A and B are shown apart, each in its own frame.
Chain A
Amino acid sequence: MNVDFNYGTLASVLSAAEKSGLPVSALVLRQQAEQLETGEDEIYRRMAGNYRVMRECIGPGCEKDLRSTSGLTGGDAYRVKLAADAGKSLVGRPLSGALYRALAVSGLNAAMGRIVAAPTAGSCGILPAAVLTMQAEKKAAERACVMSLFTASAVGMVIAGAATLAGAEGGCQAECGSASAMAAASVTELAGGTPRMIGSAVAIALQNVLGLVCDPVAGLVEIPCILRNASGVANAFVAAELALDGVESAIPPDEVIRAMKKVGESMPPALRETAEGGLASTPTAKRLRRQVFGGPDETD
């Protein structure tokens, strides 16, 4: 059955999935094949290539000696993985696995490793950590995992059209927040959730990060970006869990997305990737900036 939909609203995507009886991912793959005038196999192969790059981040990202170019960060994924593998994790699997994978990918990004922007480099750890964890620890099949990236991308396209994916425009709620919502959608689909549950997961994930600012210390994609990838994937699992258990957001996902846009517009520029506010303007941040770049800080 050929059901029309567009990426103007998440509601359009989800209701098309419900009507067609297809998973969201299958619907998106079919639509993309039409749009890009290429076979579904070719598009799937390309997405599988991206998934492979994501997976290849984990090993190097978990190395004990991983260090960012600036020297300010590195080694956090190793620490969390050590605890997880020793059975000493407080939160246990799969969350501990998701946490170290998110730290690994975003830590690798800061160390000039190869990553997939998902949707941005600053938020690149969240979606890979979520999906790779579902595969490694919840036995999700490889094909289903690659397909779930289509569901995530659909959510990303809706947010890009109706709001923004850029920290400079919408703060971290737009980057890590969006990535978290995308990851929540993937995890929900992989766990057998319905399109309606996917919508709930997106709404819950995004509303829990409204107002999150972009305040990069020394202007680098490291502090607090790497740690926000960890909390971002945790937020995704929280949202997916609630949605799968039948919890619904009182505010529908498209309205939450629009709210995120408006909140971003109300944010002063100091909190939108200018490194002038939030953590970036703390005494320690100023000291770290001098340490990396030398010279007196202009905002002192």
Chain B
Amino acid sequence: MNVFDILGPVMIGPSSSHTAGAARIGGVARALLGAPAVRAEILLHGSFAKTYRGHGTDKALIAGIMGMAPDDARIRRAPELARENGLRVSIAAGEIAGAHPNTARVTLTDAKGRSVTVVGSSVGGGSILVTEVNGMDVSFTGQHTTLIVLHRDTPGTIAEVTEVLAAEGVNICNFRLSRRCRGGEAVMTIEIDGAFGGDVNERIACLPNIYSSTMLPPV
């Protein structure tokens, strides 16, 4: 713990879990889409669903989806800015089984029709936990540079990916693997200290048995 855990974060109010954390969840979805969204479908669960109007959770999510940081003063005008920028948003309250009380499922679509779906929870103090990407189980906080590698579950695949990182002198601080079934689709989420250079992500994406690799900067 350090002094900036006590005095901080700088954020848009009113609530670090319902506003700042929500903005970061939107930001993760935007980063994973990799392009501006033209359509956003948001499902709110639990306390998020019950209190979003008063906490501005919807505004914060939209702001994050548009690439705004949790302390961007434009957050309170995010819905109008979305309309001005051709982003159509729909928001609904619903149930996500077993989810944390502050959870949102965000589906974004870009102009080319590509889409991404992210489930993230705001766990307190502005911290978040992303638990699902495109239906795959993940678990990362967005505090570190995060690699999300979709691959076919085969022996040696993990070693090849981590070898690329090791050769770059990159230190892994968190690693999670989840798969649908043995030999089926799987996803690695790898959180690393610091960042890494341009083509590392491309090199990983070109390895055998890799479907896609996305590098998410800290959100």
Contact = CB atoms under 8 A, between A and B. Distances in A.
A30 to B, nearest CB: 12
B38 interface: no
A36 B3 CA distance: 10
B1 interface: yes
A177 to B, nearest CB: 14
Nearest to B72: A114
A110 B19 CA distance: 11
Interface in B1-57: 1-16, 19-20, 47, 50-51, 53-56
A120 interface: yes
A29 to B, nearest CB: 8
B185 interface: no
A222 B14 contact: yes
B158 interface: no
B2 A109 contact: no
Contacts of B54: 69-70, 218-220, 292-293
A121 interface: yes
Contact of B73 (A113, A165, A292): A113
B170 to A, nearest CB: 19
B95 to A, nearest CB: 16
A221 B13 contact: yes
Contact of B1 (A68, A120, A161, A166): A161
A179 to B, nearest CB: 10
B59 interface: yes
Interface stretch (A11-19, A146-154, A251-259): A146-154
Contacts of B11: 114-117, 121
Interface residues of B, number: 33
Given A7-B1, A117-B8, A124 B53 contact: no
B14 A69 contact: yes
A156 B6 contact: yes
B4 A46 contact: yes
Given A70-B54, A293-B53, A113 B3 contact: no
B86 interface: no
Contacts of B15: 121-122, 221
Contacts of A124: 13
Nearest to A29: B3
A290 to B, nearest CB: 12
B125 interface: yes
Interface residues of A, number: 50
B7 to A, nearest CB: 5
A47 B7 contact: yes
Contacts of A263: none
Contacts of B4: 46-47, 50, 153
A36 B7 contact: no
B215 interface: no
Contacts of A140: none
A160 interface: yes
Contacts of A36: 2
B12 A35 contact: no
Contacts of B1: 7, 157, 160-161
Interface string B56-73: 100100000000000101
A112 B19 contact: yes
A279 B114 CA distance: 48
B50 to A, nearest CB: 7
Given A69-B54, A117-B126, A292-B54, A221 B3 contact: no
A110 B71 contact: no
Contacts of A182: 6
A206 interface: no
Contact of A153 (B6, B59, B75): B6
B10 A112 contact: no
B76 A112 contact: yes
Interface string A133-164: 00000000000000001101110110011000
A111 interface: yes
A112 B7 contact: no
A28 B7 CA distance: 14
23 contacts: A47-B4, A69-B14, A69-B54, A69-B55, A70-B54, A110-B14, A111-B76, A112-B75, A113-B13, A113-B73, A115-B11, A115-B12, A117-B9, A117-B125, A119-B7, A121-B19, A153-B3, A157-B1, A160-B1, A160-B6, A219-B51, A222-B14, A292-B53
Interface of B: 1-16, 19-20, 47, 50-51, 53-56, 59, 71, 73, 75-76, 124-126
Interface of A: 7, 28, 32, 35-36, 43, 46-47, 49-50, 53, 68-70, 108-122, 124, 127, 149-150, 152-154, 156-157, 160-161, 165-166, 182, 218-222, 292-293
